[in-house]
Copies of this chain bind each other. A is one copy, B any other.
Amino acid sequence: MTHPLFEKHRAKLDTALNAIHTRGYWAAYNEMPSPKTYGETAPDDGKKAFEAHIGQQFELNQPGTTGWQGGENSPFGMELNVQYPVCDIEALITAGQTAMTGWQAAGVEGRTGLCIEMLDRLNAQSFEIAHAVMMTTGQGWMMAFQAGSPHAQDRGLEAVTYAYREQSFVPAEATWEKPQGKNPPLVMKKHFQIVGRGVAVVVGCGTFPTWNTYPGLFAALATGNAVIVKPHENAILPAAITVRTLRAVLAEHGIDPNLVTLCVPDKRETTQALVTHAAVKSVDFTGGNVFGQWLIDHCRQAQVYAELAGVNNIVIDSTDAYKPMLRNLAFTLSLYSGQMCTTSQALLVPAGGIDTEDGHKSYDEVCADLARAIDGFLAKPEVALAVLGAVQSADTLARIALADGGSLGQVLLASKKLDNPEFPKAEVRTPVLLACDAADEAAYMEERFGPITFVVKVADTAAAIALSERVIATHGALTAGIYSTRPEVIEAMTAATWRSKVALSINLTGAVFVNQSAAFSDYHGTGGNPAANASYSDSAFVANRFRVVQRRAHI
């Protein structure tokens, strides 16, 4: 008597369960926009579906709708002008609470089956959502497709899979039979009910509106909670499409669709009232430190899962693949103009330079060669435009201008504004590379989100490793890297990352980049340094989102 959708998706779930246990390579959703996978007409259909939203009211039929609001500015300069329903938050919360009863009754298998069905449906909309992600975030097309659709869906599935593992471990019932020596045993029947904590709020970010939203959204949903998605004001459309699809899947399968709603607040105070509401029991957030810390300080009624700012860094000690290393770094620093929470901001290079297979390179040579490598990598406009995308926010443009001005360090490579013939209004910028001394902590030891990188001159490798550890322990990081040909250096860096609790990439010189995190294999964030209090991909991310309520009676 299992749920039909659980049966339908059981094979995928089983494979996913194996993947989270072995963490080798696996993906449920094809990252290539291949017609074989997605259908010959999918690219056109998806583009049309996206275009059909432009200039329209995005109807969701949510309770408590009081008006309409929009105003997303496309970094590519496209006019979007989509209007979204503004709903009374009390109405959304009450409706979510009401819907939780039926969701609880669906049971672990029912919820799991429905969540995977939702993900499959989102996968079928991959092109539509990719366009929405691209146009709201400024990501290049291929990145918007991959990170916005299949990779985000994989992360959602990963959360569903951990949630299933934890919940399915709790037995529905048990017979407790305690021996009483020569007397008959004490016998009780016990039932164990899994109940969601309460209404969850998932606060989206402006750069990765699905990739960073789906883990919390699906972790909360799968564990029995209602979810209110509060997207970033500039990246609403990908969230709105997602919410509409989830509501449709719920309704089609007899669950109250108000379990999942979109909240587009008319003012900041509405968001604050929402996340601090007594009925809200969890808040997932990705974004800056100011609002993130506000959430941690004020949402005392809720479990807050927050991914905040950090200062990702790489120690460069030595290499036997100098040019491949520089190429790898050039790509990392250019991708989406560095607007990733995983992009390296500080490259820590010994003052005495580094040994390479091409001889010793001084600190200044490393600086100059890296600048040249970035310049060379972005020389072809079609490559540059595809990799860089567009700059998402005016704040990031201002940070680039500040760095270019030279006040943060010596400009090794100035940022250039590129023209995008397809989108003449697009704000396209190449990375700015700065040189500074380890002592200039005020410059490099805070997150400067965007394509801004410091080559930091450090006394020696040991000092670089120590600096990396201190930066991460005090300011956080989602990624760290090391380049070295010496095992003892890699060992020392490894031990440092165990203390600072950051994921380490070693000697990346090929087609894997420090800022990439693969679902089902990499742990995105450790939850152990200031950049994030949770890893998106472990049991801790799901185990506290539900409770077990037991009842017992003698038979």
Contacts and interface: CB of A to CB of B under 8 A. Distances in A.
Interface of A: 20-25, 104, 165-166, 169-171, 174-180, 186, 188, 190, 192-193, 195, 197, 296, 300, 494, 497-499, 501-512, 518, 521-523, 526-528, 535, 538-540, 543-544, 547-554
The 5 residue pairs across chains A and B that have the minimum distance between CB atoms: A506-B553, A528-B547, A540-B543, A504-B551, A539-B543
Contacts of A552: 503-506, 512, 522
* Central interface residue in A104, A178, A296, by most chain B CB within 10 Å: A178
Nearest to A529: B547
A195 to B, nearest CB: 5
A183 to B, nearest CB: 9
13 contacts: A21-B169, A22-B174, A24-B176, A25-B178, A25-B179, A174-B521, A501-B547, A503-B549, A522-B550, A523-B548, A527-B544, A538-B543, A540-B543
Nearest to A32: B181
A190 B538 CA distance: 16
A504 B528 CA distance: 36
A178 B551 CA distance: 47
B23 A174 contact: yes
Contact of A512 (B25, B186, B503): B186
Contacts of A188: 512
A195 B547 contact: no
A213 B361 CA distance: 57
A526 B547 CA distance: 6
A494 B195 CA distance: 12
A176 B25 contact: yes
B535 A547 contact: yes
Given A177-B24, A521-B176, A551 B190 contact: no
Contact of A523 (B192, B197, B497, B554): B192
A526 to B, nearest CB: 5
A275 B300 CA distance: 19
Contacts of A547: 501, 526-528, 535
A503 B502 CA distance: 39
A497 B549 contact: yes
A165 to B, nearest CB: 8
The A interface, classified by DSSP as helix, strand, loop or mixed, is mixed
A541 to B, nearest CB: 8
Given A539-B539, A544-B544, A504 B550 contact: yes
Contact of A21 (B171, B179, B180, B494): B171
Contacts of A25: 176-179
Contacts of A548: 523, 526, 535, 538
Given A498-B549, A503-B550, A535-B547, 13 more contacts: A24-B176, A170-B538, A174-B521, A178-B518, A190-B521, A192-B523, A195-B501, A503-B549, A508-B554, A526-B547, A527-B547, A540-B543, A543-B544
B195 A498 contact: yes
A64 to B, nearest CB: 22
A23 B549 contact: no
A175 B521 CA distance: 9
Contact of A502 (B180, B504, B521, B549): B549
A213 to B, nearest CB: 22
A225 to B, nearest CB: 12
Nearest to A31: B178
A176 B22 CA distance: 10
A514 to B, nearest CB: 10
A504 B551 CA distance: 4
Contacts of A165: 169
Contacts of A169: 20-21, 165, 539
B497 A551 contact: yes
Contacts of A166: 539
A417 B31 CA distance: 76
A189 to B, nearest CB: 9
Contacts of A24: 174-177
Contacts of A178: 25, 518
Contacts of A507: 553-554
A550 B517 CA distance: 11
Contacts of A553: 505-508
A440 B553 CA distance: 31
Contacts of A170: 538
A21 to B, nearest CB: 6
Contacts of A521: 174, 176, 190
Contacts of A549: 497-498, 501-504, 523, 526, 528
A522 B549 CA distance: 10
A494 B193 CA distance: 10
* Central interface residue in A21, A535, A543, by most chain B CB within 10 Å: A543
Nearest to A510: B554
